[in-house]
Amino acid sequence: MSSVDIVDLHLSFGATKVLENLHLNVAEGEFLVLLGPSGCGKSTLLNCIAGLLDINDGQIFIGEHNVTWAEPKDRGIGMVFQSYALYPQMNVEKNLSFGLRVAGFSKAIIRQKVAEVAHILQIEDLLKRKPAALSGGQRQRVAIGRALVRDVGVFLFDEPLSNLDAKLRTDLRIELKRLHRKLGNTMIYVTHDQMEALTLADRIAVMKNGVIQQLDTPNGIYHRPKNRFVADFVGSPSMNLIQGTLFKQDEEWLFRMHSEATQDEQWVGISLTHYPFTAAPAVGQKVELGIRPEHVILTEKASNSVSSYLFLVDLVEPMGPDVVCWGSVAGEPFKVRVSADFVFKPDTTLMASFDLTRASIFDIETGGRI
């Protein structure tokens, strides 16, 4: 069991800077997920930790050891790949034991370790089969086994479930979580699937353009996104973002939509009294108000609440347990998630009110949360 520390990492391919000035601490036994769109550098970072890519500057520590210049095999890591990467001509047993054989372990020890891992993953029956004769789920289990058998402190997962179909993916996800609880190893897991990230992680690092945008618990990432990118990237359907301006009236901060000018003259905007600011707001500041679809309350009639808008529904998408209504607020696209028993027709107008304690406000220029 070991922690992973990445200090001031720099990596560039030719003139392109891929990772810059990157710091990351992964605690012992933690399950950390690197989440981001393709090309954000998350797999690259994982390959750097594994030693499969040489870094240009910075340091990598695994446990107490500085492994910056160490070979992959000497870093105390095991790795699981998206395409499973099983050696096609070796049977499962040989696949599991290849690393141990390279390291020169005795036959008895190898046999014992393989049996142990096969038991944990319940693949004892498959030991004599070739990878080609296995299903996708079985292959990935073997690939996990290959990492397990090496008895290392840190497991690296590179989108391990992306090649599986939806149902298997959910099953294996739960199995992985159980495995982590049982073994308690440090795990670093790369994915572009936010569901996987939210369900598996102790902490998530959301990445974009080689920079970690936010490192937080799944809850923190989802409810208090640090910037507009994280807010937009995590959550499905994504967060509603309404452009507007901040101003102050009678010591009360208010938000006014840009397209509100046409509305009632009396209309002053939404009160932000209950919004927990994290940075000092400024009068006239251009901002975006973010509200998750499930944090909007729909009512048939106009309420007295100041924080409500007219919501024009044009499409209803039943998702099973709940329903997503697509429509617009003051001409801007808007969606709301309500429970499945909420009955209404398309092309109706409803009142949408927000719970501002759960909203987010971002500065338009910097994209940062305020």
Partner 1 sequence: MRGVTPTTAIGPRGSKPKRILSTRNIVVYGVLTVAAVYWVIPLYVMIVTSLKGLPEIRMGNIFAPPLQITFEPWVKAWDSACTGLSCEGLKVGFWNSVKILIPSTFISIAIASVNGYALSFWKFKGSEVFFTLLLLGAFIPYQVIIYPLVILLRELGLFASLGGIVLIHTVFGMPILTLLFRNYFASVPMELFKAARVDGAGFWRIFLQILLPMSLPIFVVALILQITGIWNDFFFGVIYAGTLNFPMTVQLNNIVNTTQGVKEYNVNMAATLLTGLLPLVVYFISGKLFVRGIAAGAVKG
Partner 2 sequence: MNTSKRPNLWLRNMSAKVAAVPMIATALIVFVGCSVWSVVYSFTSSRSLPKENFVGLKQYERLFSSNRWVESVENVFIFGICTLVFSLIVGFSLAVLLDQKIRFENTFRTIFLYPFALSFMVTGLVWQWMLNPQLGVASVVRNLGFENFEILLLSSREYSIYAIVIAGLWQGTGLVMVLMLAGLRGIDQDIWKASRVDGIPAWKTYLFIVVPMMRPVFVTTLVIIASGIVKVYDLVLAMTQGGPGISSEVPAKYVYDYMFGRANLGQGLAASTVMLSTVLIVLIPWSYMEFRDKQEKSV
Task: Catalog residues that contact partner 1 under the rule CB under 8 A.
Answer: 47, 50-52, 71-73, 77-79, 81-89, 98-99, 102-103, 143, 146, 150, 158
Q: Would you count residue 66 as binding partner 2 (CB under 8 A)?
A: yes
CB of 307 to partner 2, least distance (A): 47
Indicate the SS3 state at residue 120.
helix
Nearer Cβ to partner 2, position 70 or 168? 70
The DSSP element (H or E) to which 17 belongs, if any, is strand 16-26
Alpha-carbon span 287 to 278, nearest angstrom: 14
Q: Which of 67, 117, 118, 198: binder of partner 2 (CB under 8 A)?
A: 67
Verify cis geometry, omega within 30 degrees of 0, for the bond prior to 237: yes
**Among residues 9 and 221, whose Cβ is nearest to partner 2?**
9
Choose from partner 1, partner 2, none: what does 267 bind? Cβ within 5-8 Å by kind.
none
List strands edge to edge, sheet with 349-354.
Answer: 296-299, 349-354, 308-318, 322-329, 332-339
Choose among 23, 25, 14: nearest CA to 56. 14
Smallest gap from Cβ 318 to partner 1, in A, equals 22
Q: How far is the CB of 70 from partner 1 (least distance, A)?
A: 12
Range in contact with partner 2 (rule: CB under 8 A) among 65-73, 192-200, 215-223, 301-309: 65-73
Which x/- pattern over 68-97 shows residues binding partner 2 (rule: CB under 8 A)? xxx---x-----------------------
Nearer to partner 1, 149 or 257 (CB): 149
List alpha helices for the chain, DSSP H: 42-50, 92-102, 107-121, 136-148, 166-183, 194-200, 218-223, 228-233
CB of 111 to partner 1, least distance (A): 17
Helix residue ranges per DSSP H, 228-310 = 228-233
> Which of partner 2, partner 1, none does residue 65 bind to, with CB < 5 to 8 Å depending on kind?
partner 2
Q: Choose from partner 1, partner 2, none: what does 69 bind? Cβ within 5-8 Å by kind.
A: partner 2
Q: Which segment (60-68, 154-162, 280-288, 318-326) binds partner 2 by CB under 8 A?
A: 60-68
Q: Are 233 and 37 in contact (CB under 8 A)?
A: yes
SS3 assignment, position 297: strand
How far is the CA of 182 from the CAs of 2, 79, 186, 241, 321, in angstroms?
Answer: 16, 18, 12, 41, 32
Residues that bind partner 2 (CB under 8 A): 64-70, 74
